[in-house]
Amino acid sequence: MTPISNVRFDAIAGYARMPIADLFGEELAYFEVEGGKVVGMLLVDHTDGDFLGLVFARDARLRYRSAAGTMFFPTLDQAEAALAEAMDAAAAAPPEDQSIEQNQPCLAGSTVSTRQSPAPMNSLWT
């Protein structure tokens, strides 16, 4: 687990944050494993000062998703150790299959889907 900057985390997976996360905790540090295959962050909970880690990994469509979270810990060191274990486990796991996703990933410089109309809502859940 290698420390990274907030700017690097934002470039890799910043969009995967919950918009209301700032209400619950403060982000303290950011990490990656295997060159960004998995990224994570350490937070302190606003309510009681406990520490936790969140793991973000790529799904089957190559988009980062929240993959795991640690328990709450009374110390930053304990949370960091748990985050390292969770990130290593996520790096070893296959990409999560997001079954409701039907389009290919849209990577920088690639062509957007040529699909003419959206899928009917009921087809997303079958």
**Does 111 reside within a domain?**
no
Against a cut of 0.75, is the pTM above it?
Answer: no
- The angle formed by the CA atoms of residues 89, 50 and 28, to the nearest 5 degrees, is 70
In a domain, 10, yes or no: yes
Q: Is residue 126 part of a domain?
A: no
The answer to whether residue 116 is domain-embedded is no
User: How do residues 66-110 score in pLDDT, each as one tens digit?
Assistant: 888 999 999 999 999 999 999 999 888 876 644 445 555 555 555
* Domain presence at residue 104: no
Asked, for residue 117, whether it belongs to a domain, the answer is: no
- Structural domains of the chain, count: 1
Q: Which helix (H) or strand (E) holds 93?
A: none
* Domain with 79 in it: 2-99
SS3 95: coil
The 10s digit of each residue's pLDDT in 98-115 is: 444 555 555 555 555 555
